[in-house]
Structure 1
């Protein structure tokens, strides 16, 4: 067990007192925070570890490994320094390489603002390739987009995310220079979580303020059908005068409107009072993609409203690190959870207090379009009874 190791500017960086690396399924880019607090400031300031720490500069390459395996490859974004009587402090923050997609324009100095007849993975490759990122697609992304438009001044992440949303796909960073197009819960985490058991501490939050009884997505497709045949052009025809034009009943216009307008609706059966919300699709939408986007929005809102975090020893189990988008069985007698949950956020931290990982979990159907079924219900009791409200809380934790 080597813990967290840091390299900045191509060389080892050891002048730190705490280091934290975070990955979140709701944020494309992973992030890191490194801190040094030097209490030994004296007349020999150039020889202190503080002086070594401020050699880090924004823009430098950064690599962080956990127990020998790279978990983040990116750049230093910001270096903050402070010094006072008896103490100096340096904080270094940064993100993995996909952070540039979050910040930067999708079009840049290019002239292509629209792709035609492309599948999602091809659009992602075209948008991300100037940033030097690889793309790995693990799923079938469905029909090609007839037209994939990029708005002026739109960020690369936004241009990618709006297409993924309409195909119910997940766009994740692998943390080390690549993008993964996937869906949820394909693999299992290296261990289960148990409270009491291997969990050191836990926090829970259940919030309905961002959830809605009905989520509606409205959009418009480019044409009413996959084929449109143009009428033959008669170059000899004379324009029809206003007096000779025949009025219509508007039915043709109405048929065209219905053919191009798209509406998708998803209902959250757990919100029993009237709470609708409507979104406009940001990409060309047919009925199916509008329904997929509405379902995606409903499920992710539900995920944000149910957040449980568990802190455990170390960064993994059996040589495998904890990762986002993996399933783990949670047995939590305090919060009443006994079922598979999806790891949506991972925070690895090492400081004077030791090495810990905080795992945020959510319901496993939060980011996919599979049937909810029993995935939101606790598993049948396997001999573990919920703690009595009159009993003492067992706050002990066993190392894995």
Structure 2
């Protein structure tokens, strides 16, 4: 059986030549479902073997391994080489392949999207970037009838708003590809237990952003809405019974279509559920990068959390972000977990104006 050091050895593999660099003594690797792209920082000092063999250039493609598992794929952004009286230090930092979606200007034939769904749009926007794929298993994605791309806007700005319209998350995976998915339902083989694998933990129970009543208002923005015979200023109310005093929030929803009322109701419920869930966040540090089955902790995965001292009992929470760390004190994983509703995409009308006249598909969450 391999020892823990070999199972979790941090290995940076550079370029087509497959240059392999190990011996990193300070490591931070962060991935999450609300951050794009994933990123890393690695440091190697002269007192550790291999520093003289570090051959890395800014811009190099890389794969980053934890043991036998790829944890990130992308490009090295910066290489810092320095020394002081105590040590010679080499530090590398990089991001996943999806960094190009965030940094660059969008390219699209004619700069107008027509009759395409989220997966088709993301795939076309990724074409200019060598090796960048799009992973999507969703089969019920609505079509975008027409969307004009603004000169200079990034692919990610387009993908982000079309993702909300499609009720989808968008984040990157270990291969550096863009993932389009719903909130996860897969459970990790094990969870986090006070007195077991949890080194430290912190909960944030907050009423700061919660309200007793959410009132969503359907408000027309055009002068042709009356042609549809629809009702203007439709009001939907939902109540959070966990808020003791009266606190009302008014949401002006973008609704000019026959399905506007449904979107209004979904938006009000989403606002309430999201705020309740985000008021129960758990931040913890565990003593391993892996669960009981030897799998790396992965974003968008459910895990059981039991922290009696912090009044968290057998809760099934979703991993929103994970940071794998290595320092002089050994290996640790820092995780942010919340109830799944905290990560549900916002119901959203992509192009509400004149939708009832043009017949645009204005679905939000199905």
Structure 1 length as normaliser, TM-score?
A: 0.71
Closer/same/farther in 2, CA of residues 341 and 96 from structure 1, 3 Å limit: same
Number of residue pairs aligned between Structure 1 and Structure 2: 329
State the shift of 1:83 in Å: 2.8
> Are 2:321 and 1:345 equivalent residues in the alignment?
yes
- Structure having the higher Rg: 1
Map Cα deviations across residues 101-135 of structure 1 (whole Å, 9 max, x no partner).
Answer: 1111123xx44322222222212211222223222
Q: Is the 8 A contact 1:260 1:286 kept in 2?
A: no
CA distance in 2, matches of 1:149, 1:260: 29
CA distance in 1, matches of 2:236, 2:42: 44
> Are 2:163 and 1:164 equivalent residues in the alignment?
yes
CA distance in 2, matches of 1:117, 1:262: 30
RMSD (Å), alpha carbons:
3.5
Look up the match of 2:67: 67
State the shift of 1:265 in Å: 6.9
Closer/same/farther in 2, CA of residues 115 and 323 from structure 1, 3 Å limit: same
Look up the match of 1:197: 196
Look up the match of 1:365: 341
CA distance in 2, matches of 1:106, 1:285: 32
Which of 7, 12, 20 is residue 13 of structure 2 equivalent to? 7
Look up the match of 2:150: 151
CA distance in 2, matches of 1:100, 1:311: 31
CA distance in 2, matches of 1:266, 1:172: 32
Look up the match of 1:336: 311
How do 1:270-309 and structure 2 match up within 5 A? 270=242, 272-276=246-250, 287=260, 299-300=273-274, 303-309=277-283
Map Cα deviations across residues 39-61 of structure 1 (whole Å, 9 max, x no partner).
Answer: 69xxxxxxx855544x4221111
Q: Is the 8 A contact 2:253 2:267 kept in 1?
A: no
Q: Secondary structure at 1:365's aligned position in 2?
A: helix
Which of 15, 34, 52 is residue 42 of structure 2 equivalent to? 34
Look up the match of 1:242: none
> Are 2:226 and 1:255 equivalent residues in the alignment?
yes
Map Cα deviations across residues 45-103 of structure 1 (whole Å, 9 max, x no partner).
Answer: xxx855544x4221111211123111111111122344322233333211111111111
CA distance in 2, matches of 1:217, 1:152: 33
State the shift of 1:210 in Å: 4.9
CA distance in 1, matches of 2:41, 2:76: 10
CA distance in 2, matches of 1:292, 1:164: 16
Unaligned runs of at least 5 residues, structure 1: 41-47, 225-251, 370-400
Structure 2 length as normaliser, TM-score?
A: 0.76
Q: Which moved more, 1:21-30 or 1:141-150?
A: 141-150
Closer/same/farther in 2, CA of residues 277 and 142 from structure 1, 3 Å limit: same
How do 1:1-400 and structure 2 match up within 5 A? 1=4, 2=6, 3=8, 4-9=10-15, 10-38=18-46, 51-53=52-54, 55-107=55-107, 110-131=108-129, 132-210=131-209, 214=214, 253-256=224-227, 269=240, 270=242, 272-276=246-250, 287=260, 299-300=273-274, 303-316=277-290, 317-338=292-313, 339-368=315-344
CA distance in 1, matches of 2:288, 2:21: 21
State the shift of 1:159 in Å: 0.4
CA distance in 1, matches of 2:268, 2:151: 25
CA distance in 1, matches of 2:38, 2:26: 17
Closer/same/farther in 2, CA of residues 118 and 353 from structure 1, 3 Å limit: same
